[in-house]
Amino acid sequence: MDSKRQEVADKAYSSYNFGQGVEVEDAGGWERVTPGSEWSRPVFVRTDDDAPSSDTTRLTFVVSFQADTDRVIDAFAIDSNGRMWGSKGTGGGETRPVKVIVLCRNSEGAPEFHTCAPECTEDQVENGEHYELAKENAGFNGYEEPMIAFDANDPAARQLGEVLAWL
């Protein structure tokens, strides 16, 4: 199973679009916890905006598998600030950050809002993938289920001001 998962993870990595103007400088080997369904590797990138003498940015590229299979559930790149980079299998499509709010539980079990802006293509936004990316980001940052994600186009976002005024 590990050799098949590595083959699939390598394919997910090689087809991943880290974003326009982002160049991969180097990457480390795959790391995984056994038992587990998540593989990750460090990736070092440079953007068009970086000065030639500046340090690279370290990302963590994560591949999540369906339990006990080599089926990829998701693949994403994230930096140490929780910012998602790029998108999977877009073949170079333009991406943009999409602001998403996730209502979830913090480590003490209390309800809390988590905000993030995953990089998404228009197709991903139309298919609602930005919600799933935001929930994964929340989980990566220590938040727990249940999780409900919404963006500026959803009624919940438009009601936030009213709710605050009501409190």
Q: Dump pLDDT digits (tens) for 126-158.
A: 889 899 999 988 998 899 999 999 999 999 999
How far apart, in whole angstroms, are the C-alpha atoms of residue 45 and residue 164? 40
Domain ranges of the chain: 1-83, 95-167
Matching residue, tokens 């998962």: 5
Q: Dump pLDDT digits (tens) for 102-133.
A: 999 999 999 999 999 988 878 788 889 899 99
Residue 133 tokens, joined: 């990316």
Is domain 1-83 given the CATH code 3.30.420 in the classification?
no
- 7 class by beta-carbon count within 10 Å (0-12 exposed, 13-18 middle, 19+ buried): exposed
Which pLDDT score, from 0 to 100, does residue 56 have? 92
Nearest to 101 by CA among 109, 93, 111: 111
Given a contact cutoff of 8 angstroms between Cβ atoms, the answer to whether 138 and 147 are in contact is yes
Residue 8 tokens, joined: 């699939």
The structure's pTM equals: 0.54
Q: What is the mean pLDDT of the chain?
A: 88
Q: What confidence tier does 93 reach under pLDDT thresholds 50, 70, 90?
A: low
Which pLDDT score, from 0 to 100, does residue 144 have? 96
Is the pLDDT assigned to residue 91 strictly greater than 50?
no
Is the pLDDT assigned to residue 76 strictly greater than 60?
yes
Q: Dump pLDDT digits (tens) for 15-60.
A: 888 988 899 999 999 998 767 789 999 999 998 888 777 899 999 9
Full strand arrangement of the beta sheet holding 111-116: 111-116, 100-105, 144-151
CA 52 to chain CA centroid, Å, is 27
